[in-house]
Amino acid sequence: MNKIIRLKDLGTKDYKETWEYQEELFKEVVDLKIKNRREETNLETPNYFLFVEHPHVYTLGKSGDLSNLLLSEKQLESKGATFYKINRGGDITYHGPGQIVGYPIIDLENFFADIHKYLRFLEEAVILTLQEYGIVCGRSEGETGVWLGEGTPFARKICAMGVRASRWVTMHGFALNVNADLGYFDNIIPCGIRGKAVTSLNVELGVEKVDEEEVKEKILKHFSKLFEATFEKSEIVNQQSKI
C-alpha cells in the first residue's frame, strides 16, 4: 500500500479549471485500479492532495436544491462570483479568498476502505488544527463538517465538506474559513441548513488576519498522523495537465 501523498499548492485558481484538473488526477488513479484488476497486476496507485484558493464561486452538489442560491445570474455577475453544479455530495456552498480549500485525491485502499471513516478523519484533521488556536469545536450530528457552539442558539459552521468517491478513490474535499468574507454566505442557504450561521477563524480569534500558510501546515501535520501518511511536495505534471 502506497501511503505517500503528493502535495501541490495551486495558489489562487479558477474553480472550473481546478475541478477539471481534479478529474484528470482522479481518472488516472481509477484507470490504474481498473488496469490492475483486468490484467491481474499490482501497480502502485498514487495519492494526491491539492491546496487551492478560489475566486468567489458558489457550487451546488448533485443532491442540492437550486433554491438555496439566493442570487440571480445578474446578481452573481455584480458580485464578481460564478456558479457551478458539480458532482460532489452535499448541497450549496461558497468558496472565495481567505478560505483554505483542500482536495485529497487518494486511493482509500492504500489506507482503509471506509468512506465514513474518511469523512470523520477529514473533520478530525480540521478540529485538531483549530484546537491549536484555542477554538472549541466539533461535529454536528447528521451534518458533515466542523462546527462551533453546536447545541446552542449560536451554532456556526467554520468548515464545509463534500466528497465524491468511486472505486475507493476520492475527490473534492473541505473548505475551511480562515480569513473569509462572510458576507458572501448571505447569498445562499449554506449547505441547505437554515437557522445556523457561518464563521471564520479570524472572526473567532478577534484578529484581522490569520497566517494561512501556518494553518495549512497544521492541517497537513494532523492529516498525516491520522492517515499514517507521508507528504511529498510535487509539481504533479502529467501528459494531460500542466497546472
Rounded Cα gap, residues 152 and 224, in angstroms:
32
Band of pLDDT at residue 63, cut at 50, 70 and 90: confident
User: What is each CA distance from 14 to 18, 57, 124, in whole angstroms?
Assistant: 6, 9, 28
User: Residue 68, SS3?
Assistant: helix
Q: What value does the mean pLDDT take over residues 120-128?
A: 97
Band of pLDDT at residue 194, cut at 50, 70 and 90: low
Does 191 participate in catalysis according to the annotation?
A: yes
Q: Is the pLDDT of residue 22 over 90?
A: yes
Which residue positions form the known binding site for substrate? 88-95, 160-162, 173-175
Q: Is the pLDDT of residue 240 over 70?
A: no
Question: In this structure, are residues 16 and 243 in contact, taking their beta carbons and an 8 Å threshold?
Answer: no
pLDDT of residue 236: 59
pLDDT of residue 108: 98
User: Residue 66, SS3?
Assistant: helix
pLDDT averaged over every residue in the chain: 90
Q: Is the pLDDT of residue 195 over 80?
A: no
Residue of 50, 105, 159, 191 marked catalytic: 191
- Give the tens place of pLDDT for each residue, 216-238: 999 999 999 999 999 998 875 54
Band of pLDDT at residue 243, cut at 50, 70 and 90: very low
- Selected residue with higher pLDDT from 183 and 122: 122
Band of pLDDT at residue 198, cut at 50, 70 and 90: very high
